[in-house]
Structures are given as structure tokens and as C-alpha cells.
Amino acid sequence: MARLQVHPATAARLGVVDGGEVEVGNAQGTVTCVAEVTGDIRPDTVFLPFHFPGAQRANLLTLGITDPVSGMPEFKRTTVRVRAFEGTPGFWAAGSVSVPSTRTDAHA
């Protein structure tokens, strides 16, 4: 299963635990993955690798925007909502937060 990197302060605010399931989503779609709580990431950023297929692919969340000069896709910045599962599938923790992702190859 795909792993979403989350800073400890952000994880604590959202009720996310290391190894717990989280939903990452925005207007483009949602991805369910496992949280990896790490101080290696900024508190205002989450990171979801793009190496997973199917319903776990991070590019389900990216916009179809390209650089006007180079034509390169904008894969490094996508605003997402992160919500933690709390025990049973389908039951969400009370909080969710929008995190503008500025460090991702997966854009989450």
C-alpha cells in the first residue's frame, strides 16, 4: 500500500498515527494509503510517492496543468485534504486539514 509521509506535528493535529490508514483527497479524487510519520518532511507538506498503480496512484490527485514554456506537467504542487481512519473502515477522525503540497513526486 502507498505510504504518505506526514510531519509529527501535522499528524498529531489530525489524529494520524504512524502505520494508520489515511485518505488523501481533493476535487480530482481520493487515495487511501498508510501514514508514515516522519520529521524528514515540513509540517506544511505531505509526500505521496507516484510509484503505485491503480487506485493508489498519486496522480489521481494532480491537476492537468503544464508549464507554458516547457510544457512540463505540474507534479510538485497539489493541495490535498488528509483525513485519518479511526479504527473501523469508513469512520473518520473529526479533523481534516488542507495541506498545500510543495514537495512531492506524487503530488499529495
Domain boundaries along the sequence of the chain: 3-101
Q: Are strands 29-37 and 3-6 parallel, antiparallel or unpaired?
A: parallel
Please give the pLDDT value at position 108. Answer: 43
Cβ proximity of 79 and 26 under 8 Å:
yes
CATH number of the 3-101 domain: 2.40.40.20
Average pLDDT over residues 42-69: 85
The whole-angstrom separation of Cα 89 and Cα 32 is 11
In whole angstroms, give the CA distance from residue 25 to residue 67.
23
Q: Which of 9, 71, 20, 72 is nearest to 46 (CA)?
A: 9
What is the reported pTM? Answer: 0.74
Predicted confidence band of residue 97 (pLDDT cuts 50, 70, 90): very low
